[in-house]
Chain A
Amino acid sequence: MWGMNRHRHRAGVTRPRVIQEGQLILSDLRPGQKGKVISFNGNGPVRRRLMDLGIRSGEIIEMVRLAPLNDPLEINLNGGHITIRRSEAALVNVEVLGDSQA
């Protein structure tokens, strides 16, 4: 957890909403970490676009990398890579699936 806190600090992102034990918002996954989509915070056009691109409950997402300025993010969804802004990724709640290389 220490490592993640440091990272969040650097990225200038507000404290994560820990929804439940073992759950995070997608933007808080570290590169290499995988998470399973559990639920969404809010609706609207961004949510719809996320759905259009296949980000929906039950899908497994791997954080690939952060852009040099820590925003946006690159994620791997079913072998396809998607770039998503930090604010958009904050709409997605995920359950962390083990650590990197899982």
Chain B
Amino acid sequence: MTDAKKIKIALAGNPNSGKTSIFNALTGAHQKVANFPGVTVEKRIGHRRFNGYDITLVDLPGTYSLTAYSPDEKVAREFILEEKPDVVINVIDSGSLERSLYLTTQLIEMGVDLVVDLNMWDEICEAGIEIDVDKLSLLLGAPVVKTIGSRGQGVESLLESALVLAQNGQKIHHHPPVSYGPALDDLVNQLSGCVSACSGCSGCGQPRWLAVKLLEGDQEIKNKVLVPGNGVRELHETLDKSLAHLKKTTRDDPEIIVSEGRYGYVAGIVREVLKRPLTDRMRLSTQADNILTHRLLGYPIFFIIMWLIFEATFVLGQYPMDWIDSGVGWLQAAVAGILPATIWSNLIVDGIIGGVGAVIVFLPNIVILFLGIALLEDSGYMARAAFLMDRLMHFLGLHGKSFIPMLMGFGCSVPGIMAARTLESPRDRILTILLVPLMSCSARLPVYLLFAGAFFGATAGTVIFSMYLIGIIAAIAMARILQKTILPTETTPFVMELPPYRMPTGKSLLIHMWDRSKLYLHKMGGVILIASVVLWALGYFPRKTEFSIDYDTQIAQLQSGITESGDVTASEIARLENLKSAEELEYSYIGRLGEIIDPLVAPLGFNWQMGVALVPGFIAKEVVVSSLGVLYQMGETEDIGGLIKVLRHPEEGITPLAAYAYMIFVLLYTPCIATVVVIRKEIGWKWMWFSTVMQLILAWGGAFVIYQGGRLLGWG
């Protein structure tokens, strides 16, 4: 062990124990976020060099227990069993010793080399609570270290203790067995004896822990342990006998009895080491909550906080987004000016630079939003937000915390979907992510502005507002349908801690922000870039060489020709160029795809230009507007006034009803490529396709009902 200078340490602990702040203090910025294999549970890995050791630190998900019921607990447990970390540091919120030690006793039983970290030591000192650290260490049979994670105090001694353990193993510390009371202890001892004697069980884990798990009826452990082999018969018999005995003597589930027994043991330890608190450490938080979750004031305050985060994310974020936009535009113009006009220059300018621009343009949103979320989480307000919103979100079959991703969806689906990471249950995450794109994002607004401006005049505002409302109604309907069908309401409990309010530290906020940005650029940026290039190619190829008019010759003639009527010439050139790009777009794969879908969208009242424009809308919804500009030979104009006039022209035959149906379609159809990529990264291929197809059906159906229904009623 001593010459192998590599050591693996895992961090385990309850949610809100300050585990992440300890992890940050231990590793600094040397960390990365990945998922545990096969599940969407986050795994943080960090590195640290200390006293000549190369230490790998893994932050396990926060759990109260180590059963096989929730994905978080399962992941934590499997990591400890399979990866066998050299040392486990158990981070404990010193203020809730009893609840924390419940997990500690399970770690002890699993036979890991344990360092117990009494974190947030400053808080209990302030509250006048005293803990006898030496006695706790003796009773647990593990070194106990006091830390203040938010200030990084004590983390060095944490590592020192861990290194001593890693070198000497359990030789210097002996964990006394967890006692469940005399009656249960007898059964556990008997079973544990059988487990030791059973050949199939060797290597599965500590016999005593396995025995307890068998009594609890843990299915995974049963599958692992009760395999054919010597002594398995006896084990089976003893287990059945023990369970029969338990059933006879008590009326509860064996699992509950074991849990009660464990709590009894923990309560005993706490009685010995804890001098009763003189003050309630929740006193200040309770006073704050008298206002923050007040019956009348709670919601207004909540909505003001949400509004602030939303405004910061999307209004403040607009400035850097504009800089990125104009920077990308400048770069495109500069590169286009240098390179000769070939396919390659077009690929670089429109495909690659445009694609990179499409990736980084979301970055300001993501950075600011996750700063806001980190503030909410670290301060403790996130739990209050869930407390306030749960009743409403529960109606949709969701958790109170789902509100924030949904709200962010009104700005942009990409950060909204990423924000769903704050949800613990995978089912809640999936449902939330499926609903986020139905919140009308800001990229859809230009389309509404164009069509409402063209067809609804004075009532344009109401019409646009109705889009937002319909999006919400569609989300509610989808939620109700999904929870009745493929995503049934789970029995996962809501019950959770309301931690005391705490001052967030700058370091943890920065790390959180940095994490998300890196995650976005690493995991999603590349795919969004590739997708953008592919979409560019679909709009660029095949090249048209034969045009209805020989534009190039005409333009060249105009350019070389007479200059006395300069204005006329310039506008004539522009007109010809617009005509040319319209023909090119029509001829490209995207244009052809548009023509293929034309019969599909005809029943919705869309003309072919409207149908074709929906396809590049897949790049980003606002591209629908510029594509219509190209198709109507206006060029990619910023000024929608001209376009409004063209659309309104009676010759186009677009009725207000068809325009409304079109807005509905844009609201509901498959979101942009970036959203699809993020959905796939967050919840996998299956749900990505489900979401894409579901929204296409929803959009078509919605537009169909509006248009045909409206016609039946004689509105268009």
Q: Which residues of B contact A70 (CB under 8 A)?
A: 391
Expressed in whole angstroms, the minimum distance between the Cβ of B236 and any Cβ of chain A is: 24
Tell me if B263 and A54 are in contact (CB < 8 A). Answer: yes
Q: Which residues of B contact A43 (CB under 8 A)?
A: 253, 255-256
Is A21 on the interface with B (CB-CB < 8 A)?
no
Tell me if A51 and B263 are in contact (CB < 8 A). Answer: yes
CB-contacts of A58-88 with B (<8 A):
64-72, 74, 76, 78-85, 88
Is A4 on the interface with B (CB-CB < 8 A)?
no
Is A5 on the interface with B (CB-CB < 8 A)?
no
Tell me if B65 and A81 are in contact (CB < 8 A). Answer: no
User: Which listed residue (B255, B277, B299) contacts A79, Cβ 8 A?
Assistant: B277
A48-B67, A78-B98 known; A64 and B286 CB under 8 Å?
yes
Is A49 on the interface with B (CB-CB < 8 A)?
yes
CB-contacts of B237-275 with A (<8 A):
253, 255-256, 259-260, 263
Cβ contacts A31-66/B at 8 Å (1 or 0 each): 000000000100111111111111011000000111
Report, as a range, how many residues of chain B touch the other chain. 35 or more
A54 (CB) vs chain B CBs: closest residue = B99
A47-B256, A57-B260, A65-B289 known; A79 and B386 CB under 8 Å?
no
How many residue pairs between the two chains, A and B, have CB atoms under 8 Å in the bound complex?
119
User: Which listed residue (A45, A74, A81) contacts B492, Cβ 8 A?
Assistant: A45
Q: Which residues of B contact A80 (CB under 8 A)?
A: 95-96, 99, 282, 497
Expressed in whole angstroms, the minimum distance between the Cβ of B490 and any Cβ of chain A is: 8
Q: Which residues of B contact A66 (CB under 8 A)?
A: 295
Expressed in whole angstroms, the minimum distance between the Cβ of B425 and any Cβ of chain A is: 11
Q: Which residues of A contact B99 (CB under 8 A)?
A: 52-54, 80
Expressed in whole angstroms, the minimum distance between the Cβ of A18 and any Cβ of chain B is: 21
Complex CA distance for A18 and B494, rounded to whole angstroms? 25
Tell me if A67 and B491 are in contact (CB < 8 A). Answer: no
Report, as a range, how many residues of chain A touch the other chain. 35 or more
User: Which listed residue (A47, A65, A72) contacts B494, Cβ 8 A?
Assistant: A72
Expressed in whole angstroms, the minimum distance between the Cβ of B676 and any Cβ of chain A is: 33
Q: Which residues of B contact A53 (CB under 8 A)?
A: 64, 99, 495-497
Q: Which residues of A contact B253 (CB under 8 A)?
A: 43
Cβ contacts B482-497/A at 8 Å (1 or 0 each): 0000000001111111
Tell me if B282 and A56 are in contact (CB < 8 A). Answer: no
Is B392 on the interface with A (CB-CB < 8 A)?
yes
Tell me if B498 and A46 are in contact (CB < 8 A). Answer: no
B216 (CB) vs chain A CBs: closest residue = A48
Tell me if B495 and A74 are in contact (CB < 8 A). Answer: no
User: Which listed residue (B95, B260, B496) contacts A56, Cβ 8 A?
Assistant: B260
Complex CA distance for A82 and B495, rounded to whole angstroms? 7
Expressed in whole angstroms, the minimum distance between the Cβ of A19 and any Cβ of chain B is: 15
Is B394 on the interface with A (CB-CB < 8 A)?
yes
Tell me if B392 and A56 are in contact (CB < 8 A). Answer: no
Tell me if A83 and B96 are in contact (CB < 8 A). Answer: no
B63 (CB) vs chain A CBs: closest residue = A52
Complex CA distance for A68 and B663, rounded to whole angstroms? 36
User: Which listed residue (A44, A50, A67, A68) contacts B495, Cβ 8 A?
Assistant: A50
Q: Which residues of A contact B492 (CB under 8 A)?
A: 45
User: Which listed residue (B256, B259, B383) contacts A83, Cβ 8 A?
Assistant: B383
Tell me if A72 and B95 are in contact (CB < 8 A). Answer: no
Q: Which residues of B contact A81 (CB under 8 A)?
A: 282, 285-286, 497-498
User: Which listed residue (A52, A57, A68) contacts B64, Cβ 8 A?
Assistant: A52
B127 (CB) vs chain A CBs: closest residue = A79
CB-contacts of B377-404 with A (<8 A):
383, 386-388, 390-392, 394, 400
B495 (CB) vs chain A CBs: closest residue = A84
Tell me if A72 and B498 are in contact (CB < 8 A). Answer: no
User: Which listed residue (A68, A78, A82) contacts B296, Cβ 8 A?
Assistant: A68
Is B293 on the interface with A (CB-CB < 8 A)?
yes
Expressed in whole angstroms, the minimum distance between the Cβ of B18 and any Cβ of chain A is: 14
A85 (CB) vs chain B CBs: closest residue = B494
Is B298 on the interface with A (CB-CB < 8 A)?
yes
B388 (CB) vs chain A CBs: closest residue = A67
Complex CA distance for A99 and B62, rounded to whole angstroms? 36
CB-contacts of B342-388 with A (<8 A):
383, 386-388
Expressed in whole angstroms, the minimum distance between the Cβ of B225 and any Cβ of chain A is: 21
Complex CA distance for A43 and B281, rounded to whole angstroms? 32
Cβ contacts A78-102/B at 8 Å (1 or 0 each): 1111111100100000000000000
Complex CA distance for A69 and B400, rounded to whole angstroms? 13
A67-B293, A81-B497 known; A56 and B388 CB under 8 Å?
no
Complex CA distance for A42 and B294, rounded to whole angstroms? 32
Q: Which residues of B contact A68 (CB under 8 A)?
A: 293-296, 298-299, 388
Is B186 on the interface with A (CB-CB < 8 A)?
no
Q: Which residues of B contact A49 (CB under 8 A)?
A: 64, 493, 495
Q: Which residues of A contact B493 (CB under 8 A)?
A: 45-46, 49-50, 85, 88
Complex CA distance for A47 and B394, rounded to whole angstroms? 19
User: Which listed residue (B259, B263, B285, B494) contacts A48, Cβ 8 A?
Assistant: B259
Tell me if B282 and A79 are in contact (CB < 8 A). Answer: yes
Is B102 on the interface with A (CB-CB < 8 A)?
yes
Complex CA distance for A68 and B391, rounded to whole angstroms? 9
Tell me if B260 and A83 are in contact (CB < 8 A). Answer: no
Cβ contacts A4-36/B at 8 Å (1 or 0 each): 000000000000000000000000000000000
A48-B259, A79-B281 known; A74 and B296 CB under 8 Å?
no
Q: Which residues of B contact A51 (CB under 8 A)?
A: 256, 259-260, 263
Expressed in whole angstroms, the minimum distance between the Cβ of B62 and any Cβ of chain A is: 12
Tell me if B497 and A82 are in contact (CB < 8 A). Answer: yes
Complex CA distance for A78 and B285, rounded to whole angstroms? 15
B283 (CB) vs chain A CBs: closest residue = A79
Q: Which residues of A pack against B, CB within 8 Å?
A: 40, 43-54, 56-57, 64-72, 74, 76, 78-85, 88
Supply 13 A–B pairs (Cβ within 8 Å), ascending by A: A40-B256, A48-B259, A50-B495, A65-B289, A67-B298, A67-B391, A68-B293, A72-B387, A74-B387, A80-B99, A80-B282, A82-B497, A85-B494
Q: Which 7 A-B pairs have the closest CB atoms?
A: A52-B64, A69-B391, A49-B493, A81-B498, A84-B495, A46-B493, A85-B494
Given A66-B295, A82-B497, A88-B493: 13 more A-B contacts, CB < 8 Å: A43-B256, A48-B67, A49-B64, A52-B64, A53-B496, A54-B99, A68-B298, A68-B299, A70-B391, A80-B96, A80-B497, A81-B497, A81-B498
